[in-house]
Amino acid sequence: MAEIQLKSISKRWGSFVGVQSFDLTIPDREFLVLLGPSGCGKTTTMRMIAGLEGITEGEILVDGKRVNDLDPKDRDVAMVFQSYALYPNMSVYENIRFPLKVRGIDPSTHNEKVMRASAMVELDDFLHRKPAELSGGQRQRVALARAIVREPNVFLMDEPLSNLDAKLRVSTRAQIKNLSHELAVTTIYVTHDQIEAMTLADRVVVMNKGVVQQVGTPTDIYDNPANTFVASFIGSPAMNLIDGTVSGGTFTAPKTSVAGTGLPDGDVTLGFRAEDASLATAGEGQITANIYSLELLGDATMITVRIGPSLVSVKADKSFRAEIGDPVSIAIPHDQCHFFDAGSGQRLQN
């Protein structure tokens, strides 16, 4: 059982701010993902929770107990890193067993615990091998088993899939999802991959430049991004963003007109997702432009047009046929239009 409270934690190195006033309560058994680009502060946040990085300001509480001054070994957390950090001279069995030996766990229980952890990540056929004899995916599973065997209060995972190829990432991601369900342990997972965040998380924390941009369920963040940074970071493709102006309730930009926005006059950014828009009869959509590129995705065709400096995408049926340069009309349902302040990037209520 572990509820984690982060109370205004910050990390600074001189004038450089790594993490700024991070406030969050992580309920027991939640799978929380810290998401953002490189250098946004997500790994620093995790390292502060683990005790590997000192805190400049704020408090970390685990089940109400302040742990700021506890050594990493006393925080009852298990970490899985991007690099597998396995002992090359030990077998898989001994690598998994190692945390039990270090922590002085009763040796008579070791075999049962190792075999249970091994079975969870399907390593029973590889226990006699050395790490050098394993694939990248198998090594990552050894690292997972080594964390599981400790039966910690908290799992911390720092980009554990980033060294795997695309196919292995998908299968290992499914394994982590299933493990989190089986183990029911509070998990904090760091990634820059928004697909990992969307598929694994109970809640996602989107970070940028050390500052939390939005906290919510994957659905919340996808459907209602708090600002243009979140809108442009979440989704594949990212949300289309078009800079324009509202006048008399109508948003206008090159080749674009959306009436009835309900917004006051001013500079505004329109956002909408490719799958929420559709092709319309000529002249009946809010956007009329020439095709810039076409991509067959298998289940759909992605059409891209250029609106000023922006490339804007819309998904069409896989049977759609056209040529680059052909005109298209794009319709956006009114309830799928998102508007952001052009200066601050913050979401506007319309």
Predicted confidence at residue 1, as pLDDT, reads: 64
Q: Where in the chain is the domain with CATH 2.40.50.140?
A: 239-348
Predicted confidence at residue 129, as pLDDT, reads: 94
* Residues 24, 34: Cα–Cα separation, whole Å: 12
CATH class of 4-229: alpha beta
59 token code pair: 């408090």
Q: Where in the chain is the domain with CATH 3.40.50.300?
A: 4-229
CATH class of 239-348: mainly beta
* Crossing angle between the packed helical segments 136-148 and 92-102, to the nearest 10 degrees: 30
pTM for the structure as a whole: 0.90
* Residues 230, 238: Cα–Cα separation, whole Å: 9
* Residues 256, 245: Cα–Cα separation, whole Å: 11
Task: From first to last of the 350 residues of the chain, give the pLDDT tens digit.
Answer: 689 999 999 999 999 999 999 999 999 999 999 999 999 999 999 999 999 999 999 999 999 999 999 998 888 888 888 777 889 999 999 999 999 998 888 999 999 999 999 988 889 999 999 999 998 888 888 988 898 888 888 999 998 888 777 787 888 888 888 888 888 899 999 999 999 999 999 999 999 999 999 999 999 999 999 999 999 999 888 999 999 999 999 999 999 999 999 999 999 999 999 999 999 988 889 999 999 999 999 999 999 999 999 999 999 999 999 999 999 999 999 999 999 999 999 999 76
Predicted confidence at residue 169, as pLDDT, reads: 82
